[in-house]
Amino acid sequence: MNGPPIVKGTAAWRYFGDFRAGLMAGQVLVLQVAHPVVAAGVRDHSDYIEDPWTRLMRTAASLSIYIYGGEAGARYEAERLRALHREFTGVDADGRRYSALNPHAYAWVHATLVMVPVDTQRFYGTPMTASEVEEYYAQMCDVGRLLGLREQDLPPTWPEFERYYADMIDGFGPNETISTLFETIRTVKNPWRWLPDKRWVRLQRWQYRGQMFVLRGTLPPALRDRLGLQWTERDQRRFDRFRAAVRCFGGLVPTTLRSSLVRRIGRLNVWFRAHPRAYRFLGG
């Protein structure tokens, strides 16, 4: 099933870059590295432990290109990502050789990104209608094919995708990379040169508590339990109040503005690709 182009007014255009999706960053990272092949690839080839802020910005820039960068930008970024991941090979925790382009692992990473806008609206906005979800999923399947996914790698309909997604999560549990991710969140370095390290120590504790609270609240409950993350009724009440506040604030922002920052980043990155000298001059 092919979806309409991602242009103004379509579901992917409206929802993918919603600024509230930033609150899902921790959850989606945990779900991705819960897959053993992804966990091994991140362990062996990612620099997120040493420089998580830059890694996060690069990921956001990449996503903005293939959603908001137009067809040419999306194709360029898809080719770049596949060439990059082709080099990521190694041995996983069970001693089996892996490739980052393993079709099932590659599809799972895309699947988690497909789910982010749907979960964002479910937790922090107004849930998508059935017709919006259908259009959105068709568009994201088209993006997946640009990224090199095969027709059989993602289910053809949204209800089948939801079953696939739930079945995948049912097979996940703790692993070393998830533990390292939690420790990285706790010990993340000061991202601002102008901020004294003594002040960052206090902010670091706050950001850790905040990130872990939102992460625990948005993870599927069964996986949260398997990871040993405590969640009480009091936590749920606090999270419901937090969600209500985010939903109220987000509702004050016009729909077209909720994704405007990510759309601008997408267009800027397409311009940088067309002007590599400027990109290198700015440290790209």
What totals of helices (H) and strands (E) does the chain contain, helices first?
15, 2
Backbone φ, ψ for residue 89 (5° rounding) = -135, 165
- Among the residue ranges 51-60, 125-134, 257-266, the one predicted with the least confidence is 51-60
- Among the residue ranges 49-63, 157-171, 266-280, the one predicted with the least confidence is 49-63
DSSP 174-188: --HHHHHHHHHHHHP
User: At which residue do the structure tokens 């209500």 appear?
Assistant: 244
The structure's pTM equals 0.87
Q: Is the pLDDT of residue 239 over 80?
A: yes
User: Which positions ≥6 away from 37 have C-beta within 8 Å?
Assistant: 92, 98, 99, 100, 102, 104, 105
Q: Above pLDDT 70, what percent of the chain?
A: 90
State the distance between the two ends of the chain, measured CA to CA, in whole angstroms.
37
Per-residue model confidence (pLDDT) at position 75? 77
Per-residue model confidence (pLDDT) at position 47? 67
Cα–Cα distance measured from residue 55 to residue 49, given in angstroms and rounded to the nearest whole number: 9
Cβ neighbours, 10 Å, residue 188: 18
Q: What is the mean pLDDT of the chain?
A: 87
Per-residue model confidence (pLDDT) at position 147? 82
- Taking CA atoms, 62 is separated from 13, 80, 97, 140, 197, in Å, by 15, 10, 27, 15, 30
pLDDT tens for 144-169 read 888 888 889 999 999 999 999 999 99
Beta strand ranges found along the chain (DSSP E): 89-91, 97-99
Higher per-residue confidence, 189 vs 251: 251
59: nearest Cα among 178, 10, 51: 51
Q: Above pLDDT 90, what percent of the chain?
A: 50
pLDDT tens for 165-217 read 999 999 999 999 999 999 989 988 887 888 888 888 889 899 999 999 999 99
Q: Is the pLDDT of residue 266 over 90?
A: no
Per-residue model confidence (pLDDT) at position 141? 94
